[in-house]
Amino acid sequence: MGLAAESPNRRIVWAGAASAGVHLLLLLTIGVASVESMKPSSAPELRVYVESQDRGPEDEHDRAGPVEAPAAPTTDSREELLSAAAPSRSRAVGSQPRTVAPPALPAAVTPSEASPGDAPSGRDSPSGEAPVLSTTAPSDSEAPASVAPVTPVAPVTPVTPVTPVAPVARVAPVAPVAQPAGIDIPAVQRSVLTRWVMQAAEKLRDVNLRQARLSLMHEGRQYVALLERQPAADSMDLERMTVEITTEENGRRLRTQLQMKRLAFSHFAQLVDRPDPEVQFHDDEIVGRFHSNSPIEVGYDRAVAPRFLSLVTTAGAGFTLGTAEGYRQKDEIFRGGLATRAGRIPLPGTFSLPDSGTGGGAPGRSFGHDTRITFYPDGSYGWRELGVAGPEHRELMSTPAYILGGRNAALAVHGTVSGKVLVYSPERIVIEGSLIYAHDPRRTAEAGDYLGLLCAKDIEIARPDVTGRGDLEIQAAVYARRRFVVVDYDAPRSGTLLILGSLTAGSLSATEPRYATRYEFDKRLEHERPPGFPLTDRYEIESWDTQWREAGDEPSGASAAGASPPSG
């Protein structure tokens, strides 16, 4: 510019140039600021104050204070107000819990209504120590959002902090596990397995082993059995055996489990080794299982016939007919069925008994001479040597009690038994009168009285002048290795001989006409036996559900515990 240095116009020109430069710089600054404000990273930090509310776990939500935003939320839900802030957020809690009044929910606002003056007055506001939710994410609008001023309120007096209790997780109920369905074992297969394990159990007992593992191949299929024997726990318990059988079918491993028990001679209402050929069953009623190691001879007339009300098994081919008048059907006599060729059950002649003792309370007392034993309801018994004058000796029985006869000594018994006792003689036992329990098991569910009569030779019913006329009742398990005898059986009819329990004998004498007979099994003997009563060599299935189950399922023994033995 060609102006004089001191010219007034020159000063005006410089002033205009400076003004233009300042305005240009200002416009550039504003332009740059406008561009930067459009970037998300340049948006101002949005600070939202959250007030904690003690409304329980179901009502715990964050509540934002009033903010000025270009776009109004579509709902006043506190959860949606928080979710609109940012997809990623961090929570910083730096204050102790405090008790505040629950504020009202904020009303929805529009951009034209949002202003600092619209903030509700008199409302609790969070202090600097309150929980803070901060985010740097952009708002819903392209325009920057500003924070509305918060009206200060008086500080809230802090109270004693309360330790928050973690909410208890609700456990979903466990659905009951259904018992896996089993596969029924066919009858033929069941029969083969039954015979196999019966024989295996007897061999295991013979060699006195506790466990054995056996294999069977039948019709191209292999079976493996694991047997475990559990000896009797005491003198009244039964020996048992657990058997698990496994096999494979169509690539699956199958398993079944059964429980067996060793039968005692007291399990039979009547067991006879060799019936007397001169004796036949006539006016007899037997309630309970019956077994004979020889063919059975029966006779009947128009008035009476024998009645076997439970299963009859015999090692023979069947039965023979003795004296018969008229006609009787087989099912009328063998009402519980007849099974032939069932195998012999040998009768042992020696027994394992405790050593005899002397004095009261001893497990056994031995008598070397013929002695009369009288049982009393108070749990005691008395004894007096036969043929010797003198007072009766008396003492309380131990539990269990053993009354033992010495060599060649006979024991005569009668009375009321209260307790658990075994009477043994190697020679002879004579029943001089009724032997009954103090607690009749037919009337008392918890009756605990047990009597066993065990003899290596004969057990007799005394003469009518000793027993008296009328019925004679014997509540006991009776075992006569050689013979069970009714003396003077041909005496005039006196009554009925009732044995409640069991009778095992090498052979039986006739009982008529002196007595008609009735043998009724004592059901308690299924689970217990009189002390020291002998066991047979026979096993029986006690429980079996007769089903195959996959090896990964629950053991079938759990369901077999209440299952009944298979029929047939």
Is the sign of the CA dihedral 52, 55, 59, 65 positive or negative? negative
pLDDT at residue 36 in the model: 52
Give one word for 343, left, alpha or beta, with left for phi > 0 and alpha for psi -120 to 50.
left
Cβ proximity of 440 and 465 under 8 Å:
no
pLDDT the model gives residue 411: 97
Radius of gyration from C-alpha coordinates of the chain:
50
Q: Give the mean pLDDT per block of 10 residues along the chain (568 residues).
A: 53 72 73 53 42 43 40 39 34 38 41 39 39 36 38 43 47 53 90 92 84 92 94 92 93 94 96 90 93 92 91 91 86 92 91 58 78 96 91 91 93 97 96 96 90 97 94 97 95 92 96 94 95 94 93 52 49
3-state DSSP assignment of residue 224: strand
Closest C-alpha to 418, from 395, 448, 390, 393? 448
- pTM over 0.75? The answer is no
User: What pLDDT score does 264 carry?
Assistant: 96
Q: Identify the pLDDT of residue 568.
A: 42
pLDDT of 10 reads 64
How far apart, in whole angstroms, are the C-alpha atoms of residue 196 and residue 218? 11
Q: What is the pLDDT of residue 540?
A: 92
For 93, phi then psi, to 5°, come to -105, 115
Specify the DSSP class assigned to residue 185. Answer: P
